[in-house]
């Protein structure tokens, strides 16, 4: 199931912050402009010190739990993120066009390309051992 059947409709509401698993509507509002027309397409809340502090605190609090997640489970979570990117590719394309002014041809490749990166890095979760591999770069062997 996609984010929305109409991404423009989703943008019609002011976009809140997402802090500690909750949508937080705080801070002053700023218009988001369609780069093609200069017309407002949405508004977003501008975060200040309190929002940044809350986000950093939430991240620090979540880090021990994330560090305790087994590598295979991390891979499954990252792969799930890739699946969601693919499932919502049409909405991501439309949002990229509206918000970033991307040409459709480029925007249509954004979600699949990001999904490929996620799948690649999911494969590394159980291969990183804390050792640095030797490099032959810059004349070193």
pTM: 0.76
75 Cβ neighbours under 8 A, 6+ residues apart: 122, 123, 125, 126
| pLDDT tens digits, one per residue of 35-59 | 888 989 899 999 999 999 999 999 9
Below-70 pLDDT ranges, the chain: 1-5, 138-141
User: Torsions phi, psi of 103, nearest 5?
Assistant: -65, 145
Instruction: Please give the distance of CA 43 from its chain centroid, rounded to a whole number.
Output: 18
Range 7-127: architecture per CATH: 3-Layer(aba) Sandwich (3.40)
């Amino acid at each position: 199931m996609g984010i929305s059947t109409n991404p423009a409709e989703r943008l019609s509401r002011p976009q809140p912050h997402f802090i500690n698993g909750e949508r937080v509507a705080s801070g002053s509002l700023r218009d988001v402009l369609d780069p093609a027309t200069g017309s407002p397409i949405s508004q977003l809340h501008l975060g200040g010190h309190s929002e940044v502090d809350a986000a950093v605190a939430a991240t620090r609090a979540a880090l021990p739990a994330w560090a305790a997640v087994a590598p295979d489970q991390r891979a499954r979570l990252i792969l799930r993120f890739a699946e969601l990117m693919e499932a919502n590719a049409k909405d991501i394309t439309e949002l990229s066009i509206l918000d970033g002014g991307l040409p459709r041809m480029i925007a249509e490749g954004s979600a699949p390309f990001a999904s490929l990166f996620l799948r690649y890095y999911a494969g590394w979760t159980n291969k990183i051992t804390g050792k640095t591999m030797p490099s032959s770069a810059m004349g070193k062997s």
